[in-house]
Amino acid sequence: MAEDTKQETQQKVAEDTQNEAKQASTSEDTQTTEVKPNPQQDQPKEFLENFDWHRYEEGIEEVDDEKLEKFEQLVEENFVETLDNEVVQGKVINITEEDAIIDINAKSEGVISLNEFRYNPDLKVGDTVDVLIDVREDAEGQLILSHRKARVIRAWERVNKAHEDGTIVSGHVVCRTKGGMIVDVFGIEAFLPGSQIDVKPIRDYDAYVGKEMEFKVVKINHEFKNIVVSHKALIEADIEEQKKEIIGQLEKGQVLEGVVKNITSYGVFVDLGGVDGLIHITDLSWSRINHPNEVLDLDEKLNVVILDFDEDKTRIQLGLKQLSKHPWEALDENLKAGDTVKGKVTVLADYGAFVEVEEGVEGLIHVSEMSWSTHLRSAQDFVNVGDEVEAKILSLDREERKMSLGIKQMTPDPWTDITSKYPVGSKHKGTVRNFTNFGVFVELEEGIDGLIYISDLSWTEKIKHPSEFCKVGDELEVVVLELDVEDRKLSLGHKQTKTNPWDKYAKDFAVGTKHKAELTEIVDKGATIDFNDDVTAFVPNRHLEKEVGSKLKKGEEAEFIIIEFNKEFKRVVASHTSVHKKEEEKIVKEAAAKAKDEDNKTTLGDANAQLQALKDKMNEDK
């Protein structure tokens, strides 16, 4: 304490004493006073009460240095230092209607409002309480103390120490708040997160309101005066010890009783009495399930088997379905391929559907076994999850636990009597199912598909892709052209349902016939003539020559003689020059006669060869 402060304190103490020193010798001529021995000076209380600081200050009464040092020591030992923010203990010496009078062993007693002791209605004279100097002197010179502030400071000291030492503290759960609970710890509000209440999920927070519980201080934010406590940390510490003890006694294959603690989408957590284990969804049931809650409920008691465990990580893998016999082992021994079974569709995939024929026993119906049609579709086009179906066992492997099923086998194979239903040459109607670059697949009935090659779509149209001719879903008339029962192939034709106009054109545009038409287009090495919508003839350059020596031009009308006609390749060649050159006309007639003899196999090349030979002979004559 600073010297000035000490002197001020000492002066006030001396001024407030009830008994002043009665004897003091004063001399006007001298400035010193002889201090007589006082036997009571050895008694601290009497010495302090009887010492007259004023007389000492005025020089009326002198005290030697030894006595003064002893005086200062007595003051320091008997009076508290009333520093700010320092908590001291005081004794209740009186209680009025509104205040409690507290002696903190200072120059005067302090006052605290009884409102600060509402938590302690049994406060009485003689009790010791913590106090803090709130106001050194009010307007009336009264020392004002605060018990509430002292409690807060003491509480923070205890909380900080508990946080540093990891000590367990007790608290009272006051109320529920967003995300957790408010807890009173040493008179300070602390936050208890919902996740820190217990190791298991809490469904009823209100059940904890009003309870006295033990906590561990896990976090303190001094800036915002926030305290976070945890009850779960205490439980986990106990559980960790229990886990080590329990896991040390576990064995694979051991059956234990447990309680369902939590259910997730991937499995179920089971409390084994201090340690948790997980039943993965695949180990819950031999049957296929979508969610664990289809099998178990929260708080349900059950027996489980230990599948595996990790002592270091304290992980325990449990099984429920393993407690019952595998369904494949219980499957009827007489069941074999060719038998008919009934079941429910459990899973759909693009390649097929899984059907549960018995609990835990599934068979696969491949999409190719759902319909006799060779036009494959998705499994969803035939069945849905939950459908009851009847199928035939195609294969059964008990060791691999695999079964393949078929639905289409439940109906007759449409190819059985194909020759009688669709003989070659017969006409039918079919539906366009899909295209390829080379043709169109047409379905005559479920399971019977045929192919129309692009060349068999039309007699007259030049088609680059089948989609130019028709669309999926269109109905077409077809004729059966070929039938391969062994390979299940059916060749169809559409153009064959109509008369081939080229049969008529073969007569109308026979070699040697004369026709009048307009030159349509000049092309490389000649020109073309459109006789009608189907027949377009080609005129070589040398056959465009007119009688006057010039050549025909585009759009010019003239007479033409057909010098070649090929029905199979739809090739027609015409000549204007042959109209006015008799010798060439003679050759054309001979070519026509020869073509007739050889069944229309004469080509333009034969006629040209003869014409060229004639020209060569005429040049020689010239």
- Per residue in 75-102, pLDDT tens? 555 544 545 567 788 888 888 888 888 8
Residue 14 confidence (pLDDT)? 39
Beta bridge partners of 395: 404
pLDDT, tens digit, for every residue of 248-288? 778 888 888 999 989 999 999 998 877 888 999 989 988 88
pLDDT band at 418 (very low <50, low <70, confident <90, very high): confident
What CATH class has 248-323?
mainly beta
- pLDDT exceeds 50 at position 32: no
Q: pTM to 2 decimals?
A: 0.41
Please tell me which residue, 73 or 484, carries the higher pLDDT value.
484
Contacts by 222-227 with C-beta closer than 8 Å and gap 24+? 226/191, 227/159, 227/185, 227/188, 227/189, 227/190, 227/191
For position 53, what pLDDT does the model report? Answer: 55
More confident residue, 558 or 26: 558
Q: Which residue has the higher pLDDT, 314 or 198?
A: 198
Asked if 355 and 348 count as a contact pair (C-beta separation under 8 A), the reply is no
Residue 106 has pLDDT above 80, yes or no: no
User: Can you give the residue ranges of every domain in the chain?
Assistant: 3-78, 87-151, 166-235, 248-323, 340-410, 418-497, 501-621
**Nearest in space to 236 (alpha carbons), one of 198, 205, 204:** 198
pLDDT for residue 85 = 60
Which is more confidently placed, 134 or 586? Answer: 134
What is the DSSP secondary structure assignment for residue 151, as one 8-state letter? H
- pLDDT by residue (tens digit) across 352-379? 999 988 888 889 999 888 888 766 678 8
Architecture of the 418-497 domain: Beta Barrel (2.40)
If pLDDT is split at 50, 70 and 90, which confidence band does 59 have? Answer: low
Strands 255-263 and 427-436: unpaired
**pLDDT exceeds 90 at position 194:** no
Residue range 294-331, pLDDT digits in tens: 889 998 999 999 998 876 656 889 999 888 888 887 78
Domain covering 87-151 in this structure, CATH number:
2.40.50.140
pLDDT at 183 over 50: yes
**Best CA proximity match to 246, nearest among 268, 267, 263, 271:** 271
- Of the candidate ranges 108-117, 127-136, 348-357, 405-414, the one whose mean pLDDT is the lowest: 127-136
Fold (CATH) for 340-410: OB fold (Dihydrolipoamide Acetyltransferase, E2P) (2.40.50)
The CATH code belonging to domain 166-235 is 2.40.50.140
Report residue 339 as tokens.
């038998």
* Distance, CA of 539 to CA of 561 (rounded, Å): 10
φ, ψ for residue 487, nearest 5 deg: -95, 5
- Would you say residue 393 has pLDDT above 80? yes
Query: Matching CATH topology for 87-151 and 340-410?
Result: yes
The confidence score (pLDDT) of residue 441 equals 92
Q: Which fold has domain 501-621?
A: OB fold (Dihydrolipoamide Acetyltransferase, E2P) (2.40.50)
- Tell me the per-residue pLDDT of 281-297, one tens digit each, with 9 for 90 and over: 989 988 888 899 988 99
Range among 132-136, 191-195, 197-201, 376-380 rated most confident: 191-195
